Amino acid sequence: MSATPDDLFAKLAELGIETKTHQHPPLHTVEESRALRGEIPGAHTKNLFLKDKKGVLWLITALEDTPIDLKTLHRQLGSGRLSFGKPDLMREILGVEPGSVTPFTLINDSARVVNFVLDEALLAHETLNFHPLVNTATTSIARDDFLKFVTACGHEPLRLRLDDATASGLETGASG
* Nearest alpha-carbon partner for 49 in 128, 125, 122, 108: 108
- At residue 128, does pLDDT exceed 50? yes
> For residue 163, what pLDDT is reported?
79
Give CA–CA dist 94/176, Å, rounded: 15
Mean per-residue pLDDT over the chain, rounded: 88
pLDDT at 76 over 80: yes
- Checking if the pLDDT of 15 tops 80, the result is yes
- What's the pLDDT score for residue 3? 96
Q: How far is 157 from 49, CA to CA, in rounded Å?
A: 14
Q: Identify the structural domains of the chain with CATH numbers, from first to last.
A: 5-175 (3.90.960.10)
pLDDT in tens, 135-172: 899 999 999 999 999 999 999 999 999 876 543 333 43
Cα Dmax for the chain? 43
Q: Is 166 helix (H, G, I), strand (E, B) or coil?
A: coil
Q: How far is CA 130 from CA 19, 34, 169, in A?
A: 11, 13, 25
Query: Do the Cβ atoms of 21 and 132 come closer than 8 Å?
Result: yes
